Structure 1
C-alpha cells in the first residue's frame, strides 16, 4: 500500500491507495484540510497502518437520510406490518428531517444528541419513550454500517437517550371490577363479554377481538390465544402472535365458561335471525352481522360503560393490569401470572408489577415467621 501528501493552496492533502475495484483499477482516497506538512505525514502513516492491519474502513459518499431509506427497505421484510409503520413514522417524520443531510461518514454523537433534544421541543414534541425508540432504530441502522465496514464505530453508542419514567398503572380493586361488570350488564352482550374476558383472563383487546369459538374448549375450560386483530388500511387482519409465549392456553373459570355459553346462545339467535346476510367468521365478539369488530367501536362501548359506572377512569388495557395485580395479591406465583399474560419472560412481569412486591414480601415474611416460630414452640 502506498500514499503521498500534496500541498493544495494553504493546506496539505493526503492521497492513499486503499486497494482495487472489481475491474482492477486502483482506488485512491483524498483526505484534505491538514494545516502543516507534519500533520499530513502523521495522518498518512496512520492510514497506511490501518490499511495494512485491516482496520481501515471506507464509508461511501452517502447522506444519512439516503442510507436510512435503504436500510428501511431492507428491514421491512423482517418486521411485522404494524411495527414497520412505527419505524416509518419515526424515521420519515423525525429522524431523516433532522439528520438526513449529514454525511454518514461525518455523523457524530453530537449530531444525534442534538436530534433527540429537538425531538422533544415544540408543539409536536415526542415523549421520552418515543425518543428511546428512535435511539434504538438509529443504533440498529448504524450497527449494520459497522458490520459492513462502512464505519469504524457506532456513534450512537456514545449518546444518552432520555430516561423513560416508569409508568404507574391504574388498576381497580376486586370490588370495583365486580361493580363495573354489574353496572355494564345493560350493555350489548357482545361488548360486555369482552369486558368480562379482559378482567377474568388478562387478555389484550386485540386478542379478545380475534378470539374464535373454535379456540374455546368448554369441556376443559380453556381458551387458546392464537392471534390478535389488527385493522390495516381499513381491512381486518388476524396477525400471528408476536412471540411463542403470546400464543398460549388461558384457563377459564366456571363463571367465565358460563358467561361465554350465554353469549354464544344470544349470538346463535342473532345469526338465525339474519339468515344468509350473516357473515360467519366464528368470532366470539363480532358485529351484529358476524363481521369483525373495529377497535374504535369497542372502545366507544367501553368508555360509555365506564362513564355510566361512575368508577375511576382507566384504559381498557388497564383491565389486564387489574387481572394480573389481583392474581399476585392473592398469592399466585409470578411464573403462572407471566404465562397467563403471555409475557416472554417472568422478568417483564416482575418489572411491570414491581410496585406490588413490597406488600407481597411482607406477607411472605410473616408467613415464614409463623411457620418457623410456631414449629419451634411446638
Structure 2
C-alpha cells in the first residue's frame, strides 16, 4: 500500500521467461549498466494513499505510463496539493479524493488546484461538476415561470440562435469575456458575408442569403443582456461555483438611443428624389399626420384605431388588445392593463411588462367623439351580423367582431400611408409622433411620460424634446431676442 507521502517509481511490462510473472519495477532493463535509469525502457508512475471513503474504505491514487520522472513527481505533488485544500476536514477530504479517483479512472487530467480551491471556499461539493453554458441557460429559463411571454420568447431566441451555438459547449465556470467577444466577432463576420452576398451580381450568391438578416448593434446588446441576466443568477447559485459575471466584462461598442427624426420639407424632397430615408426612426410632421388620418377615414374599420394611436401614443399591442370594459368614454379615460404580444405569427394576451406600462390615459374631446361614433357603428354591425358576430369585447375589431392581428394592422398602416403619398414611417412611428407633438404643444413632460408608459421622464425628454425643428428654432429665436433686448416670444404650438 502506498504511503501518505506517496511515491514515484518506474515499471515495465516485461515478464520472467521461466515463471511468466510480470517483472514490474524489478526488470533489469529499467536501468543502465552504470546504474542510471534507461530512458528507452519502461514508464514512470506515481501512487498516493488517498483519505478514507465516507464509509471507511481504503484507496489509493495511481497513474502509470508517464514519460518522465518529472511528470510523475508533478502528478504526485498535484494530488497532494488537492488533498491539502481540505485542511483535514474529513468530509471535504473524501469529496476531493472521490474527484481525484474519478479523474484517474477516466484517464482525464487531474482537476485544477485553483478550481477546487474556489469550490471549497464556496462550501460547494467539489464533486459536482458545473454545467455547460447550454445546460445552465436551459435550466435558467425553465426556472422563470413568471416571465412575460414576449420576454420569454426573446430570451429563448437569443439562447437558441446565438448563445448555445457559439458558447453552449463550454463549461459555465470556464466561460470568459473573450469567449463572449469572439461570439460577437463571429456574428459580425456573418453580417459582412450577408451584405456582400446581397450586393453580388451572381443571382445564386444573392439568393444564398435570402431571408437572412443582419444582426444590429442593439440586438447584440440585447443578446448580451440575456446572457448577463442568466450569469447573474449563476453567481447567486452556490451549487454552480461561478464567481464572476463575464458578460458584464465583454466589450461591445456603445449603442446610443435612436432618436426620432421628423420628415421636414427638405428631407421629403430628398426622399422623393432618390428614396433616401435619413434615420432609422422617422416621424411625420403634424400636417403629414393629419393627411394620413384624413386618408384613413376611407377605412372605417381601422380609422378609429389609428386615430387613438396618433393622438395618445398607444403601442400597437395595447391598441389591438384594448377592451371596452377598460374604456370609459363618459370620463374620457382609458385604462391600459392589457396588451397583445406577437410571437412569430402567434399572439399572446398579457399585461404590460413594466409597472409604468399599466397606466390610465386621458382622452381629448376629439378622440372621445371618434370613439363614440365608432362604438355606434360597431353596435350596428353587431346587430346586422347576428349569430355570426364574434363577441371579443374589444374596442377595435374586424368586420365580424374578431380581433385584429397586430401584423395585419401594421400592414394596413403601410398601405394607407403609401396610398396617401406620405414618406415612410412605421406604425410605432405614429406613437413617436404623438409623444413629440405633446411635448411640442407644451404638455408637461411628466404627463407625457406617464401617458406613454415610460419608466422615467428623462427617457421621454431625451428622446422626443427636440424632434420638430420649428420648436427648436422658436427656442433659438427666443434666446436671440434676449440678447437683442427685444420682446421674447416663445412658440409652444406646432402649426
**Inter-partner Cα distance in structure 2 for 1:230 and 1:47:** 44
Alignment match of 1:185 (pick from 297, 301, 316): 297
1:266 and 2:357 are equivalent in the alignment: no
Aligned equivalent of 2:227: 138
**Inter-partner Cα distance in structure 2 for 1:105 and 1:236:** 37
State the TM-score, normalized to the length of structure 2: 0.64
Greater share of helix: 1
Aligned equivalent of 2:171: 103
**Inter-partner Cα distance in structure 2 for 1:128 and 1:55:** 40
**Inter-partner Cα distance in structure 2 for 1:326 and 1:4:** 81
Aligned equivalent of 1:37: none
Give the 3-state SS of the residue equivalent to 1:190 in structure 2.
Answer: coil
**Inter-partner Cα distance in structure 1 for 2:302 and 2:367:** 15
**Which moved further from structure 2: 49-58 or 223-232?**
49-58
Matching of residues 212-251 of structure 1 within 5 Å: 212-231=323-342, 236-251=347-362
Give the 3-state SS of the residue equivalent to 1:264 in structure 2.
Answer: helix
Aligned equivalent of 1:36: none
Offset, 1:206? 0.8
Matching of residues 336-375 of structure 1 within 5 Å: 336-353=447-464, 355-356=466-467, 363=475, 366=478
Q: Does the 8 Å contact 2:356/2:450 carry over to 1? A: yes
Aligned equivalent of 2:288: 176
Q: Which runs of 5+ in 2 are unaligned?
A: 9-45, 47-62, 101-109, 195-211, 260-280, 488-495
Offset, 1:362? 7.0
Aligned equivalent of 1:33: none
Q: Does the 8 Å contact 2:149/2:348 carry over to 1? A: no
Q: Which runs of 5+ in 1 are unaligned?
A: 31-39
Alignment match of 2:132 (pick from 45, 63, 71): 63
Offset, 1:311? 0.9
**Which moved further from structure 2: 82-91 or 19-28?**
19-28
**Inter-partner Cα distance in structure 2 for 1:304 and 1:100:** 43
Q: Does the 8 Å contact 1:131/1:162 carry over to 2? A: no
**Which moved further from structure 2: 342-351 or 256-265?**
342-351
Work out the number of aligned pairs and report it.
Answer: 361
Alignment match of 1:162 (pick from 249, 253, 256): 253
Give the 3-state SS of the residue equivalent to 1:307 in structure 2.
Answer: helix
Aligned equivalent of 2:21: none
Alignment match of 2:387 (pick from 264, 276, 294): 276
- Given the superposition, is the C-alpha separation of residues 131 and 182 from structure 1 closer, same or farther in structure 2, using an over 3 Å criterion? same
Give the 3-state SS of the residue equivalent to 2:427 in structure 1.
Answer: coil
Give the 3-state SS of the residue equivalent to 2:302 in structure 1.
Answer: helix
Aligned equivalent of 2:154: 86
**Inter-partner Cα distance in structure 1 for 2:121 and 2:387:** 75
**Inter-partner Cα distance in structure 1 for 2:374 and 2:174:** 62
Give the 3-state SS of the residue equivalent to 1:78 in structure 2.
Answer: coil
- Given the superposition, is the C-alpha separation of residues 81 and 50 from structure 1 closer, same or farther in structure 2, using an over 3 Å criterion? closer
Give the 3-state SS of the residue equivalent to 1:250 in structure 2.
Answer: strand
Offset, 1:166? 3.2
**Inter-partner Cα distance in structure 1 for 2:302 and 2:7:** 77
- Given the superposition, is the C-alpha separation of residues 264 and 27 from structure 1 closer, same or farther in structure 2, using an over 3 Å criterion? same
**Inter-partner Cα distance in structure 2 for 1:138 and 1:237:** 25
Alignment match of 2:442 (pick from 306, 331, 335): 331
**Inter-partner Cα distance in structure 1 for 2:155 and 2:115:** 37
Q: Does the 8 Å contact 1:57/1:151 carry over to 2? A: no
State the TM-score, normalized to the length of structure 1: 0.83
Q: Does the 8 Å contact 2:440/2:468 carry over to 1? A: no
Offset, 1:51? 7.7
**Inter-partner Cα distance in structure 2 for 1:297 and 1:5:** 77
